[in-house]
Amino acid sequence: MGQRNEAQLGVKEGDFSYVDRARLIEALKSAVPPECLLVQQEDLRPYECDGLSIYRQVPMAVVLPRTEEQVVAVLKACHHLKAPVVARGAGTGLSGGALPHAHGVVLSLARFNRILDVDAHARIAVVQPGVRNLAISEAAAPHGLYYAPDPSSQIACTIGGNVAENAGGVHCLKYGLTVQNVLRVRGVTIEGEIVEIGGRGPDTPGYDLLALMHGSEGMLAVNTEITVRLTPKPQLARCVLASFDDVAKAGDAVAAVIAAGIIPAGLEMMDQPATAAVEQFVHAGYNLEAAAILLCESDGTPEEVAEEIERMRVVLEASGATEIRISGDEAERLKFWAGRKAAFPAAGRISADYYCMDGTIPRKRVGEMLLAIQGMEKKYGLRCINVFHAGDGNMHPLILFDANRPGELDRAEAFGADILELSVALGGTITGEHGVGVEKINQMCSQFTTAEIGAFFRLKGAFDPDGLLNPGKAIPTLNRCAEYGRLRVSNGQLPHPELERF
């Protein structure tokens, strides 16, 4: 498979080539027991990428600490040697946020996998960062509670990674993102100091560091303990499956549902190529004639759900749905969802490789975006299937390509970059829930001005003055933006003339 490593990324973000591998390994040996340290090439290889496997880089070492004291010791050692540290959870991220640094250490939190406390009365769970998202809901289930944010990778992804990316899911319009469901993060700074952010209460004094930690992509501190809020499980959920003969009509139907004062528990859209792809192997029963389908879910008490489903049906019919089906039981509801949840694997079945985008745009621009994507399919000679969280405008176009065919990876990336640029132009953002990582770092230059990027670096400096935590991710240097040709300058001033251009 075609891939990118640091050299191919083009621009060096900061030079850490001074890090001496032997000295670094020596220092790590005194920080953790031997079974927590990997240094052989064959042991390092499994860590060379995360869920975005087109970027690969073998690190100098991987540490798998078991205790917070060991995390402190590792960070102190790296801080002393000024070596980069990349924290890693399950490695399911889709933006290369956990891509190792060639001159650095990967700090895996995989062994921090214990649920420390489930307090059913206070509806709070205290967990270690390596606990899987779904495991929290499983532990809370006997109490009639669950952890609400449900990214599609929830069987594998960890809560530590969810905090780092501010993960969403299909239910976040109603139940919020990770940031709205976490009460406290305990972490370690690069200097090896323990930092407690938040508590068991609803808020904390001082600036909202908890908000800042969410989506910070491991660049501010390394989490060692997370307190989450648990939510009572709704008694019942039912789903409406609506078909449309036109994608714009489906888009308008989404707006009409919201305009009617309904906040669905989930509101998802798939276009025809996407339904065709999934039907081949899940048989969710989607109408293959439809240009687009909507999945619209209601949850709550039986009375509440009956009332809301009826309101949804009326609105969807008035919006021109050609067919409406309402799940009669839980098995049918899960069948409706099976297709949506299988979209990514289905893309993998019909194509050698696929590239998942994550732009969020105002809902009303969805039709425009889909049309533009059709144009891009012709321009780049690649197919794209569209699934998205329609309720919050978060789109996941899946660009299909074959990396073994010369030039296709490059075309797929250019296609993706076009979608991201258009997301910004339509008043949206380049990433809704997958993070910037290394993948979308160039497009950050389109979304933010040099002043804003400067502010991001200063905020990072408030936690990590030497810039050792996950360098080269999320926030582009101004040199990189100059190279990418997308220096955005506010107030009509000239682009930074002091910067070297090449």
Collapsed DSSP state (helix, strand, coil) of residue 85: strand
Q: Find the binder of other proteins among 201, 328, 406, 497 (CB under 8 A).
A: 201
Nearer of residues 303 and 330 to other proteins, judged by Cβ: 303
Site for other proteins in 472-491 (CB under 8 A): 474-475, 490-491
Nearer of residues 36 and 52 to other proteins, judged by Cβ: 52
How far apart are the C-alpha atoms of 479 and 417, rounded to whole Å? 19
Q: Find the binder of other proteins among 89, 432, 467, 472 (CB under 8 A).
A: 432
Site for other proteins in 24-43 (CB under 8 A): none
Write a three-state SS string for 435-463: CCCCCCHHHHHHHCCHHHHHHHHHHHHHH
How far apart are the C-alpha atoms of 423 and 417, rounded to whole Å? 10
Q: By rule CB under 8 A, what string of x and - marks binding of each residue 272-301 to other proteins? A: ----------------------------xx
Site for other proteins in 225-264 (CB under 8 A): 232-235, 255-256, 258-259, 261-263
How far apart are the C-alpha atoms of 110 and 100, rounded to whole Å? 15
Residues in the chain: 502
Collapsed DSSP state (helix, strand, coil) of residue 178: helix
Select from 383, 412, 389, 387 the least CA-distant residue to 397: 387
Q: By rule CB under 8 A, what string of x and - marks binding of each residue 108-147 to other proteins? A: -----------xxxxxx------------------xxx--
Q: Find the binder of other proteins among 77, 139, 177, 469 (CB under 8 A).
A: 177
Per the DSSP assignment, residues forming a β-bridge with 297 are 239, 266
Nearer of residues 65 and 391 to other proteins, judged by Cβ: 391
HSE-CB of 96 using CA atoms within 13 angstroms: 28
Could you tell me how many residues of this chain bind other proteins (CB under 8 A)?
97
| Residue 76 in contact with other proteins, rule: CB under 8 A | no
* Rounded least distance, CB 169 to other proteins, Å: 10
Query: How far is residue 249 from each of residues 252, 275, 294, 330, 422, measured CA to CA in Å?
Result: 5, 17, 11, 28, 21
How far apart are the C-alpha atoms of 423 and 359, rounded to whole Å? 6
Q: Find the binder of other proteins among 21, 66, 200, 283 (CB under 8 A).
A: 200
Q: Find the binder of other proteins among 56, 103, 333, 363 (CB under 8 A).
A: 363
Nearer of residues 188 and 277 to other proteins, judged by Cβ: 188
How far apart are the C-alpha atoms of 161 and 149, rounded to whole Å? 13
Q: By rule CB under 8 A, what string of x and - marks binding of each residue 387-416 to other proteins? A: --x-xxxx----------------------
* Rounded least distance, CB 359 to other proteins, Å: 9
Q: Would you give the DSSP letter of residue 46?
A: G
Nearer of residues 90 and 140 to other proteins, judged by Cβ: 140
**Residue 206 phi/psi, 5° resolution?**
85, -175
Q: Find the binder of other proteins among 58, 102, 110, 212 (CB under 8 A).
A: 212
Q: How many angstroms separate the first and last alpha carbons of the chain?
A: 30
| Residue 307 in contact with other proteins, rule: CB under 8 A | yes
Sign of CA dihedral 67, 69, 72, 76: negative
How far apart are the C-alpha atoms of 39 and 32, rounded to whole Å? 13
* Rounded least distance, CB 246 to other proteins, Å: 18
Site for other proteins in 144-173 (CB under 8 A): 144-145, 165-166, 168, 172-173
Nearer of residues 284 and 424 to other proteins, judged by Cβ: 424
374: number of Cβ within 10 Å: 14
Q: Find the binder of other proteins among 2, 14, 176, 273 (CB under 8 A).
A: 176
Site for other proteins in 370-389 (CB under 8 A): 389
Q: By rule CB under 8 A, what string of x and - marks binding of each residue 335-354 to other proteins? A: --------------------
Buried residues in 114-126 as b, exposed as e (16+ CB within 10 A): ebeebeeeeebbb
Q: Would you give the DSSP letter of residue 45?
A: G
Task: Pick the piece of the chain touching other proteins (CB under 8 A) from 64-72, 376-384, 410-418, 460-468.
Answer: 460-468
**Residue 146 phi/psi, 5° resolution?**
-155, 165
263: number of Cβ within 10 Å: 13
Cβ(408)–Cβ(382) under 8 Å?
yes
* Rounded least distance, CB 330 to other proteins, Å: 16
Nearer of residues 1 and 306 to other proteins, judged by Cβ: 306
* Rounded least distance, CB 93 to other proteins, Å: 11
